[in-house]
Amino acid sequence: MEKIAKKNGISVTQLALAWVNEREFVHSNIIGATSLEQLKEDISSADIILPENIRKEIDNVFAQSPNPATF
């Protein structure tokens, strides 16, 4: 995920939160921030719409390793 995020000019946090925000079954996204900078990063993810090519790259990662706890 880090490579995908870096290649697309966003942080891993923004990538993850943007992905969660796009799930139609998610009604709220719980963020965690211990600094103002982290809070700004988290909030900025609400404005990110992942293009199809990024979603496909993420899907490929999950296809190879369906258990995200192993990342």
What pLDDT, on the 0 to 100 scale, is given for residue 28?
A: 87
What pLDDT, on the 0 to 100 scale, is given for residue 70?
A: 63
52 contact partners, CB below 8 Å, separation of at least 6: none
| Residue 67 pLDDT > 70 | yes
Going from N- to C-terminal start, the domains of the chain cover 2-70
pLDDT digits (tens, 9 = 90+) for 10-46: 999 999 999 999 999 988 888 889 999 999 999 999 9
Q: Report how far Cα 60 is from the mean position of its chain's Cα atoms.
A: 14
The whole-angstrom separation of Cα 10 and Cα 23 is 19
DSSP letter (8 states) at residue 8: T
What pLDDT, on the 0 to 100 scale, is given for residue 68?
A: 67
Supply the pTM of this predicted model. Answer: 0.85
Cβ distance 17 to 28 under 8 Å? no
What type of residue is 49? Answer: I
